Structure 1
Amino acid sequence: MAESDESVRKERAALITQKYSGICPVYEAFYIHSILYAAERSEAAFQRFDEAVAISRSASVIFAYIQDALTHAGALSRFFWPMKSKKKDDQLAAARGDRLRDAFALDETSALKCRKLRNAFEHFDEDLDHFLLEERAGFFFPNPMVEDQALADESIGHLFKLVDPKNGICVLLGQKFEFRPSLCKNSVL
């Protein structure tokens, strides 16, 4: 983008931030459409997850469904709680998030605000780097598992991916996360 194009973009962003609280009224429908899409995809994946658990599908399939559901929920979350910008002059996303939270009556207690599990999925590769840098002995379980989360407390085993549907807990690289909305207030055990 040319420097003049960037300055025009910044001016437009500042205007939309100040005058329209982060969303130009003629484009509001696009945000609503995108939010509905992410919510529908997340809900559908949670339904597939519940169905897969009920009929005892393979651990890989069950884990894939919960990861899909939570990835879409993470995308939905970013509309309402955008990532903090590193640019000091870019307040558009923050204003948009404030406006959307107000419009959808979401507050800081919303399960959508929980970011730790979403981040663990998104940064699994980096976390795996750090996990494997530590000296570890015992048994390694890199394949997804569907088991009771207490299994992660065993010191001799190193779990990469585990989901406990009964307790609403997902374990990634030994760290436990709650994923059911009613449990999300304390998102790391």
Structure 2
Amino acid sequence: MNWLEKDRNDLAAERILDAAAQLFVERGVATVGMADIARRAGCSRATMYRYFDSRRSLQLAFVHREARRVGETILAETSTIPDLRERTVAAMLAAVREVRADPTMIAWFQLGDAGLASEIAHSSEVIEGLSAAFFDGNVLLAKWTVRIIVSLLTVPGSDDAEERAMLELFVAPSIDPSQLDSVE
């Protein structure tokens, strides 16, 4: 095997995902087809299918790439917060802020595309794994927080202060760190 082949494959896949991102912003996620993405990426559909065997696998790859990026940002922002309740609120607000600030991510939560985003978020092992990393491996808490984040992205509060208040009033008190070890 050529030592450059993996790098070349990674670059080609990234180029395809970048092309998809542009189209998601322009047209919405649900309306973008594989032929559209191949044209934008400057490759044939056959080439694209070598990297992504379906539209669903391409969408998952895109979401996972972006989730890793957002996850790194959130971890850097919140890892030094010792209180689990405060860390949870801060992580959720950071996730919402990061997604809203990125046109390629917020496109997934527009009218008509939010159902797809919700489905992927709830079935993604990558998103679940990243979330669990914030909560000492507690998968149940991770799943719950992802649902709340998706809810805030699809049905936002009136402003950042209201969303913070809701999280501090309803989410933070419901987290009992002493109970987390028994539920996973």
Same-fold call, TM cutoff 0.5: no
Question: Normalising by structure 1, what TM-score?
Answer: 0.35
The structure richer in helix per residue is 2
Q: TM-score if structure 2 supplies the norm length?
A: 0.36
Q: Point out the structure with max Rg over C-alpha.
A: 1
Structure in which a larger fraction of residues adopt strand: 1
Higher RCO (Cα < 8 Å, 6 or more apart): 2
